[in-house]
């Protein structure tokens, strides 16, 4: 009876942990209410991260949890007061101490190989087909295309309303208020609140994009979960990362500043529009615009005219 209960408990634990740990997300881009695990992968780096999590970390964690749960249940049953009216005086067990020291070392040694291969894959940038420079400001992002002299640097701000206008409003009411703006002003238009920007970074699909990251002031972090990208933006320092969105994965992807950088840290979204290669060429030839609309953005307190990249 006790064995069957123990087996049932172990089975339930295994199923629950496996289901919750594996990163099998929906086909939707960006975070989805109710999802657990990673967002859907669309780059080789994120594929590798997801596989490392699903086929190395989760099985090991599930095994450890089941083993520890089984041992705890056994101890509670075997050494309960009713079965042991005279308490044991055992203080230590050399064999057990050796096991619980050696086993974690072996597990970590095994994980060194795939984890180092993954880190190397992330760190070594393949020959790039496009270079973009990302600069963190307080509190927005500035994008530059060094390969295209006709595309002026532009600033990407969050699509939101002033804080004073939010008091007493729910998120749904705020979204309604934003989308009630005239067509010429930044609106959400179905994009997620607090993740949408007025000028997304535009890149072509199936292209190795090298990202040069720095900051004008505070330390920020450029992070896009579906790309497997997260790198610090440090003043006076240049960091580099890369991504390549799989063919057929055109769409809009979202991230956020992931380094606490000040009062508006939570209002620094990253929006990346991935388009076809031909469409990107047209966008670049048009000076970095799908339309001729011009928007007024702010760079660290100074005004700058930038092209609004809206389809």
Tokens, residue 297: 């953005």
Query: Is a pLDDT exceeding 60 seen at residue 297?
Result: no
Domain 2-123 has CATH 1.10.287.90: yes
> How do residues 105-141 score in pLDDT, each as one tens digit?
999 999 999 999 999 999 999 999 999 999 999 999 9
> How do residues 28-43 score in pLDDT, each as one tens digit?
788 888 888 899 999 9
> How do residues 79-106 score in pLDDT, each as one tens digit?
888 888 888 787 888 998 999 899 999 9
The confidence score (pLDDT) of residue 30 equals 82
- Domain segments of the chain: what residues? 2-123, 130-158+194-307
The side-by-side arrangement of strands in the sheet containing 269-275 is: 201-204, 269-275, 251-257, 220-224, 229-233
Q: Are 151 and 284 in contact (CB under 8 A)?
A: yes
One fold for 2-123 and 130-158+194-307: no
Any residues with CB less than 8 A from the CB of 197 and at least 6 apart, and which? 141, 156, 157, 158, 159, 269, 270, 271
Tokens, residue 169: 């409003």
Domain 130-158+194-307 has CATH 3.30.450.20: no
Q: Are 135 and 236 in contact (CB under 8 A)?
A: no
Query: pTM (2 decimals)?
Result: 0.80
């Amino acid at each position: 009876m006790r064995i069957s209960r123990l087996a049932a408990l172990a089975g339930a634990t295994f199923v629950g942990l496996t289901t919750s740990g594996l990163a099998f997300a929906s086909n939707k881009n960006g975070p989805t209410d109710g999802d657990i695990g990673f967002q859907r992968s669309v780059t080789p780096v994120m594929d590798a991260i997801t596989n490392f999590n699903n086929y190395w970390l989760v099985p090991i964690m599930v095994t450890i949890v089941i083993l520890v749960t089984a041992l705890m249940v056994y101890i509670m049953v075997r050494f309960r007061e009713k079965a042991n009216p005279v308490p044991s005086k055992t203080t230590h067990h050399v064999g057990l101490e050796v096991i619980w020291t050696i086993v974690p070392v072996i597990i970590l040694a095994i994980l060194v190989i795939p984890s180092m291969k993954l880190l190397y894959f992330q760190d070594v940038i393949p020959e790039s087909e496009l270079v973009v420079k990302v600069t963190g400001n307080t509190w927005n992002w500035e994008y530059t295309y060094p390969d295209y002299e006709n595309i002026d640097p532009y600033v990407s701000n969050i699509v939101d309303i002033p804080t004073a206008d939010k008091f007493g409003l729910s998120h749904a009411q705020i979204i309604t208020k934003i989308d009630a703006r005239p067509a010429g002003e930044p609106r959400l238009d179905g994009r997620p609140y607090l993740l949408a920007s007025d000028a997304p970074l535009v890149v072509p699909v199936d292209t190795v994009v090298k990202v040069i990251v720095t900051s004008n002031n505070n330390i920020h972090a450029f992070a896009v979960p579906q790309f497997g990208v997260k790198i610090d933006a440090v003043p006076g320092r240049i960091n580099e990362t890369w991504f390549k969105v799989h063919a057929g994965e055109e769409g809009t992807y979202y991230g956020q500043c992931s380094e606490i950088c000040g009062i508006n840290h939570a209002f620094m979204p990253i929006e990346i529009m991935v388009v076809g290669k031909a469409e990107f060429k047209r966008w670049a030839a048009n000076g970095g615009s799908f339309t001729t609309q011009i928007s007024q953005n702010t760079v660290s307190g100074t005004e700058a005219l930038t092209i609004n990249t809206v389809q």
